[in-house]
């Protein structure tokens, strides 16, 4: 079908990871095999998470969708994001079931996507910037290539676009009844934009805690009442004797032959591809709007700025000065536009074409790419080659030396171990001129002096049996040969052993209770006497006055006004609040002044607030519809969920169900 979308225009290579993610996400929620006429009564089998109107939602589809959710949040979740995959699986399964239910309902109600609607979506919707940059089709081969990289064919992709349009039509029907009254808009506006100024009295937990001096009897009573918290709180401890072999302290020689052997084995690492050293001045392309279209006026303005900068260069302006002043690339403008050495794979097609046409020291004209307009200077060029051993010797030598030290240390440790098994650890250490250390008792999470963090050593020590022969284990600093001497089992500490900890916990718990009681008393006194300052003076609280603050503002000693302190926005001038818990502080507030926003502010923000409220209302209606739809379909047997398969997908690495 895509062939009839083709228009005249230049071939552009625009395979972007963002597009692939967008396509994959779209596929995950709409491409479900089978037909709506399938059997509705079958129970989901192995590998099937749910049946929705006869359509199978597979475990693999759920995993793929969960991975896409992770990919979208990968930057926030960090390098261990994959561990959270089970926790996204439930959300992914619900999303797939909801969307398939909506698709079935849309088709049941007769909503269909016409070929023209699919055409319009591809040419003007969210895919337009990729398939039709600047209104021009990228070409059949490039279109198919991009889809192939997402493991799709044009037929399956265009079918999924059609299904998404059908769902969108149903959602438009559902949300069409949403409305927002003028009163609701004004109320929300006032809620967001009213400012308050107030006095507030602050009681601090740390000040109360400093005044606590519990007697021994109180602490013992606290210890006894919290006995379950201390039971077996001292972990198992072990004592060993060991000899530590540090590779860095061994003397090894690195020969030319060693370096040559390493170089020969890793020669491919020293291949330098063809590279160019370039500088550029970049004027960014305007981003597509919510409708996927790029403002042509903005494009023209960007090109004009680039043309003007080129004229400055042609008039004798220094490239570095123009780049520092006018380039919109924050990564290179401060260094005169230099991008350093880059390879072909790091350049887009148009950029590469321009660089290839330049000779050293020359400046290009204005080069249009997908991300904007560039003026490029070729600073230097380097042909592909392999660095010689002498060129990389300084890089290689420390690596080879470390490898030889590691090998020598391991060999020495193995020799000590074998001798220790025959003659004992002390005799073996003496024979090999390495010292033996006897440790104090330590827990599995402790650090042993001289070893540093050494999880493999700890694993070996805490799995060794009593009276077992010497063993060898890696450490953060090398290798250790050790022998287990004694084991102290897990135990409950006596009061005297943890008195300091008990006292700290007693003070923390008691001061928190006293803070709550004292803040309540402060509020009661202030309300009874209609005088916050007087009550604060009687109870030793500090009184402060805020600036005018909005509902999303911050106030010293209170923090965010969106928490418990938000009560002040519902008060009248002169009112005194109840106790407000602000973390380690207790606060009571007396409102001085409520400043309402102006009519001019309301007029400026009215449409924005209306749109926000309307979108929330529309989303609420859609969510309610989906909830009722799923309930109805489940009762009718049109949605069947394989709970065992779902449990398998949502089970965390620890074996517990995800959340």
Joined together, the tokens standing for residue 620 give 């609420």
- Give the pLDDT confidence of 317-335 residue by residue, as tens digits: 999 999 999 999 888 999 9
Q: What is the mean pLDDT of the chain?
A: 88
Average pLDDT, integer, range 115-133? 86
What is the DSSP secondary-structure string of 34-63? S-TTS-SSPPP-TTEEEEETTEEEEHHHHH
Amino acid 543: pLDDT: 97
Identify which has the larger pLDDT, 571 or 136. Answer: 571
Identify which of 231, 232, 240, 243 has the alpha carbon closest to the alpha carbon of residue 442: 240
Using a pLDDT cut of 90, give the percent of the chain over it.
68
- In three-state secondary structure terms, 638 is coil
Nearest-angstrom CA–CA distance, 199 and 112: 62
412 within 8 A of 432, measured Cβ to Cβ: yes
Say if residue 572's pLDDT is above 80: yes
Amino acid 146: pLDDT: 83
Lowest average pLDDT, out of 15-24, 56-65, 508-517, goes to 15-24
- In three-state secondary structure terms, 122 is helix
- Give the pLDDT confidence of 425-476 residue by residue, as tens digits: 999 999 999 999 999 999 999 999 888 889 999 999 999 998 899 999 999 8
Residue 438 CB partners (closer than 8 Å, separation 6+): 239, 240, 241, 485
- In three-state secondary structure terms, 163 is helix
Residue 418 CB partners (closer than 8 Å, separation 6+): none
Average pLDDT, integer, range 562-575? 94
652 within 8 A of 86, measured Cβ to Cβ: yes
Architecture of the 237-255+390-488 domain = Roll (3.10)
For 382, which DSSP code?
E
By the 10 Å C-beta count (0-12 exposed, 13-18 middle, 19+ buried), 371 is classed as middle
Q: Give the pLDDT band (50/70/90) at residue 77.
A: low
Amino acid 7: pLDDT: 34
Amino acid 133: pLDDT: 82
User: CATH code for 2-177+618-649?
Assistant: 1.10.4030
Q: What are phi and psi of 2, to 5 degrees?
A: -65, -20
In the chain, where does the domain assigned CATH 3.10.50.40 lie? 274-383
Residue at token pair 């042993």: 448
Average pLDDT, integer, range 590-610? 93
What residues form DSSP beta bridges with 374?
Answer: 282, 367
Beta strand 442-443 with 363-369 is unpaired
Identify which of 25, 15, 4, 28 has the alpha carbon closest to the alpha carbon of residue 131: 15
- In three-state secondary structure terms, 337 is coil
361 within 8 A of 291, measured Cβ to Cβ: no
Amino acid 76: pLDDT: 56
281 within 8 A of 375, measured Cβ to Cβ: yes
Q: Give the pLDDT band (50/70/90) at residue 482.
A: very high
Amino acid 344: pLDDT: 77
Query: What is the spatial order of strands in the sheet that 338-343 belongs to?
Result: 338-343, 275-284, 372-382, 363-369
Question: How far from 499 is each of 113, 142, 220, 222, 495, CA to CA, in Å?
Answer: 74, 73, 9, 11, 6
143 within 8 A of 137, measured Cβ to Cβ: yes
240 within 8 A of 523, measured Cβ to Cβ: no
- How many other β-carbons are positioned within 10 Å of the β-carbon of residue 536? 23
Nearest-angstrom CA–CA distance, 243 and 412: 11
Amino acid 659: pLDDT: 43
Q: Give the pLDDT band (50/70/90) at residue 402.
A: very high
Nearest-angstrom CA–CA distance, 254 and 627: 71
283 within 8 A of 299, measured Cβ to Cβ: no
Q: Give the pLDDT band (50/70/90) at residue 135.
A: confident
CA atoms within 13 A on the CB side of 550: 7
Class of the CATH-defined domain 274-383: alpha beta
């Amino acid at each position: 079908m895509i062939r009839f979308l083709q228009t005249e225009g230049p071939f552009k290579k625009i395979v972007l990871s963002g597009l692939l993610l967008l396509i994959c996400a779209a596929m995950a929620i709409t491409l479900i095999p089978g037909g709506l006429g399938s059997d509705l009564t079958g129970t989901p089998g192995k590998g099937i998470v749910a049946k929705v109107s006869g359509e199978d939602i597979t475990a693999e589809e759920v995993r793929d969708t969960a991975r896409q959710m992770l990919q979208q949040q990968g930057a926030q979740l960090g390098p261990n994001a994959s561990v959270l995959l089970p926790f996204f699986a439930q959300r992914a399964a619900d999303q797939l079931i909801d969307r398939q239910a909506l698709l079935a309902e849309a088709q049941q109600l007769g909503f269909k996507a016409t070929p023209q609607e699919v055409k319009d979506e591809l040419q003007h919707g969210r895919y337009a910037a990729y398939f039709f940059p600047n209104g021009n089709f990228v070409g059949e081969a490039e279109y198919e290539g991009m889809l192939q990289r997402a493991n799709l064919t044009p037929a399956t992709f265009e079918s999924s676009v059609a299904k998404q349009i059908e769902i969108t039509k149903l959602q438009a029907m559902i949300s069409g009844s949403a409305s927002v009254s003028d009163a609701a808009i004004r109320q929300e506006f006032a809620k967001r934009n009213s400012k308050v100024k107030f006095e507030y009295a602050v009681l601090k937990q740390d000040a109360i805690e400093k005044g606590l001096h519990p007697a021994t009897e109180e602490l013992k009573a606290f210890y006894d009442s919290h006995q379950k918290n201390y039971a077996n709180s001292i972990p198992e401890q072990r004592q060993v004797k060991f000899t530590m072999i540090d590779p860095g302290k061994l003397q090894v020689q690195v020969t030319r032959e060693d370096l040559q052997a390493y170089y020969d084995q890793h020669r491919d690492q020293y291949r330098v591809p063809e590279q160019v050293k370039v500088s550029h001045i970049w004027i960014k392309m305007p981003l597509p709007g919510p409708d996927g279209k790029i403002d042509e006026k903005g494009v023209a303005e960007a090109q004009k700025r680039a043309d003007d900068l080129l004229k400055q260069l042609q008039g004798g302006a220094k490239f570095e000065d123009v780049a520092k002043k006018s380039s919109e690339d924050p990564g290179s403008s401060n260094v005169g536009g230099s991008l350093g050495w880059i390879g072909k794979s790091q350049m887009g097609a148009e950029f590469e074409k321009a660089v290839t046409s330049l000779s050293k020291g020359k400046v290009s004209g204005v080069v249009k790419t997908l991300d904007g307009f560039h003026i490029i200077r070729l600073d230097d060029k380097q042909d592909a080659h392999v660095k010689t051993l002498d060129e990389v010797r300084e890089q290689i030598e420390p690596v080879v030396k470390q490898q030889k030290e590691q090998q020598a240390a391991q060999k020495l440790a193995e020799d000590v171990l074998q001798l220790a098994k025959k003659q004992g650890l002390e005799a073996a250490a003496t024979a090999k001129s390495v010292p033996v250390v006897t440790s104090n008792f330590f827990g599995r999470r402790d650090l042993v002096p001289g070893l540093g963090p050494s999880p493999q050593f700890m694993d070996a020590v805490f799995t060794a049996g009593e009276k077992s022969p010497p063993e060898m284990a890696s450490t953060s600093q090398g290798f250790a040969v050790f022998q287990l001497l004694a084991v102290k089992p897990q135990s409950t500490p006596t009061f005297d052993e943890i008195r300091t900890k008990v006292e700290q916990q007693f003070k923390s718990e008691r001061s928190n209770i006293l803070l709550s009681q004292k803040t309540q008393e402060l509020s009661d006194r202030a309300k009874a006497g209609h005088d916050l300052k007087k009550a604060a003076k009687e109870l030793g609280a500090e009184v402060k006055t805020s600036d005018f603050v909005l509902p999303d503002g911050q106030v010293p000693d209170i923090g965010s006004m969106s928490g418990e302190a938000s009560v002040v926005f519902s008060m009248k001038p002169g009112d005194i609040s109840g106790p407000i818990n602000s973390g380690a502080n207790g606060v009571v507030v007396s409102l001085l002044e409520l400043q309402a926003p102006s009519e001019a502010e309301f007029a400026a923000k009215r449409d924005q607030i209306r749109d926000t409220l309307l979108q929330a209302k529309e989303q609420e209606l859609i969510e309610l519809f989906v909830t009722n739809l799923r309930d109805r379909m489940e009762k009718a047997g049109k949605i069947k969920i394989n709970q065992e398969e779902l449990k398998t997908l949502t089970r965390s690495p620890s074996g517990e169900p995800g959340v």
